[in-house]
């Protein structure tokens, strides 16, 4: 290996690849100089220019020599003749001393004519004169006989002594015609050569300049040719030409090349075959080739095109056109074409398959958007029309429509309910939605498809004897309408028949075929799953609604504090855990409650029932709203904690926990008009004044139930409600919905409520008409309470001093008030209860001691004192002197209890009014009321 070459064969100094000759830096092939067509053209042009210039210089030089020699001959002859014919020359030759006579004259003539020598000779050739005086007297050499003997003048190139020269010899003739001498003049050959050599330098310079210009022009031509030929050599160009011809005529794609004048320049074999061109088509205008007018327009328009479909006879060609010189108005064009006739058919089938796949995708998106059985069936019918069928019907079993499980023998059923119908035109002959569809004839396509468990296609309905026999009149109408093909497919879910789908064609000429069966079955399978899900949801929704309605109040309790109207609407997507309640409380008060449990379904309804029951139980404690919510929160947290125990605790907590429930609890007292409200994460109420002004009192929202209070207890808010004002309690499902946030809902609710002089029932109706969406996403609970105030004439109050003697006057005053109210029948019982309660407060309580009688639906006796000591019921023995007071209260009162305030307690008892004619019950039991004052609890 050459030591200068590297491992890869590249020259270490020049950087050229020894194997390929390609320069490592420039990437050019160094060997393509003379091997390429451009290099060879350059060398040939340079050589031709050199030869032409050399030949031109040589010829010019030779011509110059000849011209110079000829000029020398002419000049020599002219000088010799002028001297020979000069006057006195003949006389001088015949004189005794011709040299003396002629030497001076000859020299003057030589100098004047600028020739090398002028010699006058005797007839025998002896020199009389010469420019070289040493030659005078010597005989001139050469053949002078033509002049001396013949008398002719001549010129010649003389070779000899003294010098080679071009000389002319002219005889001198006297008057008698005798030759008396000769004149010889000439120019030496050496001087002629020097003259020619001077011209040779000019010729050489001119030739050199011409050669430089020729080589430069050849270099420019070679460079342009190199770019156009990409440095290819003749063999490569020849091979490329052969390959081009072979490829051009061998490819299965037609190629046309059209010139700027729209004449055909070239057409390969495939183009001739596709277009039917004749052998003499070249150089003819494209409009004369018999092409389709659209194809001619495309070729003459000059625009580019890609895969445009053009017709050529019975073929469809995909044509592409590109200009040969982009951006040049005088550009020709190249058109390529390929036969897509078979491809169009395959593409058509692929397009159908692609359309079917797209339709299945859309079906997956569009079918099952709601969890309603009927709507899901309608979506199936709507998806199929018009891209698969002209008309579509869906029939379902009656149990499926009700949300029940379909019968196991559904495959043998002979009737279904038409649930959905969709078509291209409304004037269709098919039975309407709601009709019972029967197929008692076993050979009908429907019955056959049910028995087989897969789709069946009836290409020609006119030949379906079973279908025509099932309903001859309806079949005749369908055929007259244009129904000609039917595809029926069972709706199967979990292997059970839910119904069936029927697809009809009337306007579409193609009948249903075997390729449509698999698509119909796939479409039906997807729809069946959605229908089955909707059926299950319908069943669960019905169960949840039934459960929830059983847990909600069926009728509002009797009470006089408020006029109440309510609305409860379960969500369309699933029953939630919203609830409301109206709970009568002692002292003619009433508790108004609304709550919301996060989630939907049976569990939410059951959780709502648990919370509502807990609220009822805690309300019997007669505690303030904030304390009640605290008890409810503690109970909720305890329940959730128990459900967290066990291996699957987290799943149970997620699925069954109560955490996330909210509650709003309000207590309204008609005696004072005060309303105490507390919230556990629930929206506050709306307050509507007598003038229609709506306010939303600010409440401390609190935490939802079950999250744990920590050091932050629930807070209450005190509201004063004038008689006739409305307190509106609601859940967030009334306000929030698709496209509407809480603030927007509150503003809309406020504007709806701001209409005075409406009953609670009218208010509920107006609110739902304004805020209810067609498909609410959440439950809605609405409670409207119009407040009342007890007549001050039906309220009696007394301050009692801490003295046992003060009991009797209060008891007597109470009896008088009862007589005023017309409650004489309750006087004795009320006096008995008041005596026991006041005596206990005086003895064991603390100041202040107050007594209040409320005449509402019942008579309410209340004794309050400043002590928080809770009395308790006990049974005295026969020997005990006391301990029977609270027992007597419990025996004679309808209800009794104790409630605690911020300071002290209130013991209350309710007495139901009796007829005025009835005998006092207690008269025979306790004869002396004054004696009761000495009895102990």
Q: Residue holding tokens 């359309």? A: 355
Question: Which tokens belong to 844?
Answer: 């064991």
3-state secondary structure of 859: strand
- In the three-class reduction of DSSP (H, G, I as helix; E, B as strand; rest coil), residue 632 is classed as helix
pLDDT category at 226 given cuts 50, 70, 90 is confident
User: 320, 309 in Cβ contact below 8 A?
Assistant: no
Averaged pLDDT, 801-823:
88
Tens digit of pLDDT for each residue in 863-902? 999 888 777 666 555 444 445 567 778 788 888 888 888 7
pLDDT value of residue 881: 43
Residue with tokens 């071009």: 166
The distance in angstroms from the start CA to the end CA of the chain is 132
Q: How confident is the model at residue 101 (pLDDT cuts 50, 70, 90)?
A: confident
Residue 668 pLDDT greater than 90, yes or no: yes
The pLDDT score that the predictor gives to residue 18 is: 43
pLDDT value at residue 654: 55
**Amino acid 625: pLDDT:** 93
Whether a cis peptide bond, with omega within 30° of 0, leads into 162 is: yes
The whole-angstrom separation of Cα 154 and Cα 148 is 11
Beta-strand runs (E) in 252-332: 254-258, 264-267, 305-312, 315-323
Task: Read off φ and ψ for residue 674, nearest 5 degrees.
Answer: -90, 145
Is the pLDDT reported for residue 799 higher than 50?
Answer: yes
Write phi, then psi, for 756 (nearest 5 degrees): -75, 175
Q: Is the pLDDT of residue 371 over 90?
A: no
Token duo for residue 25: 């830096």
> How far is residue 596's CA from residue 735's CA, in Å, rounded to a whole number?
13
Helix 827-844 to helix 885-892 angle, to the nearest 10 degrees? Answer: 150
Position 369 pLDDT exceeds 50: yes
Q: Name the token pair of 77.
A: 């002859």
Residue with tokens 């049910």: 450
Distance of CA 901 to the CA centre of its chain: 64
Q: Give residue for tokens 């409600």.
A: 721
Highest mean pLDDT among 88-92, 316-320, 812-816: 812-816
Residue 81 has pLDDT above 50, yes or no: yes
* Lowest model confidence (mean pLDDT) among 17-26, 72-81, 160-169, 603-612: 17-26
Predicted confidence at residue 20, as pLDDT, reads: 42
* Distance (Å, whole) CA 861 – CA 855: 9
Least confident of 188-202, 334-348, 914-928: 914-928
Q: Write down the mean pLDDT value for the chain.
A: 81
CB atoms within 10 A of CB 316: 17
Distance CA 418, CA 394 (A): 6
- The structure tokens listed for 881 are 């002197």
Q: Which residues pair with 28 in a beta bridge?
A: none
**pLDDT score, position 305:** 87
Residue 264 has pLDDT above 90, yes or no: no
pLDDT for the residue numbered 301:
84
Give pLDDT tens digits for 460-485. 999 999 999 999 999 999 999 999 99
Q: Is the pLDDT of residue 599 over 80?
A: no
pLDDT of residue 918: 42
Confidence of residue 840 (pLDDT cuts 50, 70, 90): confident
With 80 as the cut, is the pLDDT of residue 218 above it?
Answer: no
Q: Is 567 left (phi over 0), alpha (psi -120 to 50) or beta?
A: beta
Per-residue pLDDT band for 920 (boundaries 50, 70, 90) equals very low
Return the minimum-mean-pLDDT range out of 355-369, 642-656, 878-892.
642-656
Tokens representing residue 323 in the block? 């200009």
- Tell me the mean pLDDT in the region 173-197: 80
Token pair listed for 332: 């020709």
Of 501-510, 599-608, 679-688, 740-749, which gets the smallest average pLDDT?
599-608
Question: What local confidence, expressed as pLDDT, does residue 44 receive?
Answer: 81
**Inter-residue contact 823 to 814 (CB < 8 Å):** no
Could you give the percent of the chain with pLDDT greater than 70? 85
- With a cut of 50, say whether residue 208 has pLDDT above it: yes
DSSP 569: E
**Is the per-residue pLDDT at 21 higher than 80?**
no
Please say if the pLDDT value at position 223 is more than 90. no
Q: Which of 531, 524, 534 is nearest to 363 (CA)?
A: 524
Lowest average pLDDT, out of 107-121, 127-141, 238-252, 771-785, goes to 238-252
pLDDT at 239: 74
- Confidence (pLDDT) at 737: 77
User: Is 344 a residue whose pLDDT tops 80?
Assistant: no
Most confident of 21-30, 308-317, 645-654, 867-876: 308-317
Task: Give the percent of the chain with pLDDT over 90.
Answer: 24
């Amino acid at each position: 290996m050459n030591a200068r070459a590297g491992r890869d064969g590249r020259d270490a100094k020049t950087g050229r690849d020894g194997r390929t000759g390609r320069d490592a830096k420039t990437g050019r092939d160094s060997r393509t100089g003379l091997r390429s067509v451009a290099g060879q053209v350059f060398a040939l042009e340079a050589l031709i220019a050199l030869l032409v210039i050399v030949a031109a210089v040589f010829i010019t030089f030779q011509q110059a020599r000849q011209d110079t020699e000829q000029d020398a001959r002419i000049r020599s002859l002219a000088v010799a003749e002028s001297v020979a014919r000069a006057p006195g020359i003949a006389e001088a030759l015949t004189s005794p001393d011709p040299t003396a006579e002629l030497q001076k004259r000859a020299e003057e003539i030589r100098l004047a004519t600028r020739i090398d020598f002028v010699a006058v000779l005797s007839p025998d050739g002896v020199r009389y004169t010469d420019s070289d005086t040493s030659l005078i007297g010597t005989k001139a050499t050469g053949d002078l006989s033509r002049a001396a003997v013949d008398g002719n003048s001549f010129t010649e190139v003389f070779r000899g002594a003294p010098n080679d020269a071009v000389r002319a010899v002219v005889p001198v003739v006297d008057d008698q015609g005798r030759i008396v001498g000769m004149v010889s003049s000439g120019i030496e050959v050496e001087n002629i050569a020097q003259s020619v050599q001077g011209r040779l330098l000019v010729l050489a310079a001119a030739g050199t300049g011409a050669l430089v210009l020729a080589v430069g022009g050849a270099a420019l031509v070679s460079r342009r040719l190199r770019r156009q030929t990409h440095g290819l050599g003749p063999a490569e160009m020849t091979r490329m030409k052969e390959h081009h011809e072979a490829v051009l005529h061998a490819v299965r794609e037609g190629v046309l090349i059209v010139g700027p004048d729209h004449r055909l320049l070239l057409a390969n074999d495939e183009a001739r075959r596709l277009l039917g061109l004749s052998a003499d088509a070249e150089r003819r205008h494209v409009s004369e080739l018999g092409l389709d007018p659209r194809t001619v327009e495309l070729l003459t328009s000059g625009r580019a095109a890609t895969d445009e479909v053009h017709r050529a006879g019975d073929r469809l060609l995909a044509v592409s056109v590109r200009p040969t010189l982009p951006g040049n108005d005088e550009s020709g064009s190249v058109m390529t074409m390929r036969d897509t006739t078979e491809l169009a058919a395959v593409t058509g089938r692929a397009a159908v398959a692609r359309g079917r796949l797209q339709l299945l995708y859309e079906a997956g998106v569009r079918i099952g958007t709601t969890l309603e059985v009927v709507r899901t069936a309608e979506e199936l019918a709507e998806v199929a029309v018009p891209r698969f069928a002209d008309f579509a019907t869906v029939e379902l079993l009656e149990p499926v429509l009700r949300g029940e499980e379909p019968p196991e023998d559904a495959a043998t059923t002979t009737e279904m309910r038409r649930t959905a119908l969709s078509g291209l035109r409304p004037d269709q002959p098919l039975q309407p939605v709601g009709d019972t569809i029967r197929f008692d004839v076993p050979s009908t396509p429907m019955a056959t498809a049910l028995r087989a468990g897969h789709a069946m296609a009836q290409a020609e309905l006119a030949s379906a004897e079973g279908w025509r026999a099932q309903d001859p009149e309806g079949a005749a109408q369908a055929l007259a309408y244009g129904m000609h093909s039917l595809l029926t497919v069972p709706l199967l879910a979990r292997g059970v028949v839910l119904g069936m789908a029927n697809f009809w064609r009337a306007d579409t000429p193609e009948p249903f075929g075997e390729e449509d069966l698999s698509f119909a079955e796939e479409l039906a399978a997807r729809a069946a799953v959605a229908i089955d899900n909707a059926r299950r949801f319908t069943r669960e929704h019905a169960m949840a609604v039934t459960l929830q309605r059983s847990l909600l109040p069926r009728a509002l309790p009797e009470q006089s504090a408020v006029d109440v109207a309510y609305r409860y609407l379960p969500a369309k997507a699933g029953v939630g855990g919203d609830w409301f309640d109206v709970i009568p409380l002692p002292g003619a008060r009433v508790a108004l409650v609304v709550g919301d449990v996060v989630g939907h379904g049976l569990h939410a309804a059951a959780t709502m029932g648990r919370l509502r029951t807990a609220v009822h139980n805690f309300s019997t404690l007669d505690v303030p709203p904030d304390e009640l919510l605290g008890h409810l929160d503690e109970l909720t947290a305890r329940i959730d904690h128990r459900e967290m125990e066990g291996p699957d605790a987290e799943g149970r907590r997620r699925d069954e926990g109560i955490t996330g429930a909210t509650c709003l609890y309000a207590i309204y007292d008609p005696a004072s008009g005060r309303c105490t409200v507390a919230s556990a994460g629930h929206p506050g109420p709306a307050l509507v004044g007598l003038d229609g002004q709506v306010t939303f009192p600010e409440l401390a929202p609190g935490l939802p139930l079950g999250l744990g209070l920590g050091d932050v207890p629930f807070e209450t808010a005190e509201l004063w409600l004038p008689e006739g004002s409305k307190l509106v309690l609601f859940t967030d499902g009334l306000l929030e919905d698709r496209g509407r946030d809480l603030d927007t809902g509150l503003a809309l609710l406020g504007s709806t409520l701001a209409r005075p002089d409406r009953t609670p029932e009218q208010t509920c109706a107006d609110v739902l008409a304004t805020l209810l969406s067609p498909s609410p996403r959440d439950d809605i609970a609405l409670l409207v309470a119009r407040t009342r105030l007890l007549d001050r004439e039906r309220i009696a109050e007394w301050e009692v001093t801490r003295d046992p003697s003060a009991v009797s006057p209060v008891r007597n005053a109470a009896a008088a008030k009862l007589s005023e109210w017309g409650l004489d029948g309750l006087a004795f019982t009320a006096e008995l209860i008041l005596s026991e309660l006041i005596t206990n407060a005086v003895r064991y309580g603390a100041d202040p001691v107050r007594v209040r009688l409320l005449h509402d639906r019942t008579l309410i006796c209340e004794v309050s004192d400043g002590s928080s000591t809770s009395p308790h019921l006990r049974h005295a023995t026969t020997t005990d002197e006391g301990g029977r007071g609270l027992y007597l209260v419990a025996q004679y009162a309808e209800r009794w209890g104790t409630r605690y305030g911020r300071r002290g307690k209130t013991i209350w008892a309710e007495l139901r009014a009796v007829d005025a004619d009835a005998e006092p019950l207690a008269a025979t039991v306790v004869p002396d009321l004054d004696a009761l004052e000495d009895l102990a609890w």
